[in-house]
Chain A
């Protein structure tokens, strides 16, 4: 379980990183690596180039902008979980982070890395979606804003293009009327099904190829949950209904 060969790049400035990402064929961003490196070690994924962004300055900031909170692409999950700013202005994100794997993983894993990895059973993409946040994708040619609703395309698939770095994520301020509940086999596992409530919006995770928005009054309608070893479609629907009722009642 050793990664296949790749060329390693450790740029020390954002322009350098974007030049590498734009210029190299088959390059992958390495941030926290908590999802990527297992795939590399299993040789389920391989890339000609890894561009390690961990040495880029200034991208580990959590700051206020545009009435919400921006989280830079080197903000570790543990850092965000304990951020006083997030805890006061967007406590849903720290709450969700408490469900992401384990503290040791969160010490290294990044918020934006989880968003970009696009695991359909992960908490953070659903949080971004429920809140109606966005991400900023930057390339050598400039930057663009991608709304949460447009980001996810499929299992482990986003609309980020080759050459783009997910530079930061932005979460709207929300201090009441939120919650997250999930059902997982073991503490810290990816969810069999999960629900995120942000005000009147409800997002689901673990039940479809991407996180999806659902009708709080009838949350299991309008999608066809994917069955797998741990849960059938019908079981997932039932979990969604139950979790939704609980998250709305909380």
Chain B
């Protein structure tokens, strides 16, 4: 499988969750694990460009696919991805644990739907839990990211 553009060795066993493989086998610890039953969205990654829960996939299932984690959105030291930049501008995070999942959910939305309306934006962020912010800043950040995306096109 390719992870963030790099070919990676296959996971060791059939039952290893993709989230554990990314975090502990590949050291990509930006993917977080908050519930391991698919509700919180902290572990969201892009599978062939689409956001999915990595805690609900076996690592072996990702073989032959292209994965993008939060670390793959932009290189270290390079400018932030526009969605990350929007989250920064709106201070759309506090502890930062849920943040990679939200960012990737919004990246997935914009890849799928370059001009989402407010309802679609709300729907896109409504599958992720945040315990710190109360969502207002995340909503603003997602809207800002969508607006920037529209302008870029």
Contact = CB atoms under 8 A, between A and B. Distances in A.
Taking the complex as a whole, does A directly touch B, i.e. does some CB pair lie under 8 Å apart?
A: yes
A42 B123 CA distance: 27
A22 B109 CA distance: 40
A5 B15 contact: yes
Nearest to B17: A2
A37 interface: yes
Contact of B109 (A33, A101, A103): A103
A30 B15 CA distance: 12
B30 interface: no
B126 A187 contact: yes
Interface stretch (B44-52, B72-80, B92-100, B143-151): B44-52
Contacts of B47: 107-108
B56 A37 contact: yes
B123 A102 contact: yes
Looking at chain A's contact residues, the main secondary structure is loop
A199 to B, nearest CB: 28
- Chain A CB within 10 A, most for which of B36, B105, B108: B36
A184 interface: no
Interface of A: 1-3, 5-8, 10, 30, 33-34, 37-38, 41-42, 50, 52, 54, 78, 101-105, 107-108, 187-188
Given A105-B38, A187-B126, 14 more contacts: A2-B17, A2-B20, A8-B15, A8-B58, A33-B56, A37-B38, A37-B56, A38-B56, A102-B41, A102-B123, A102-B126, A104-B41, A108-B47, A108-B57
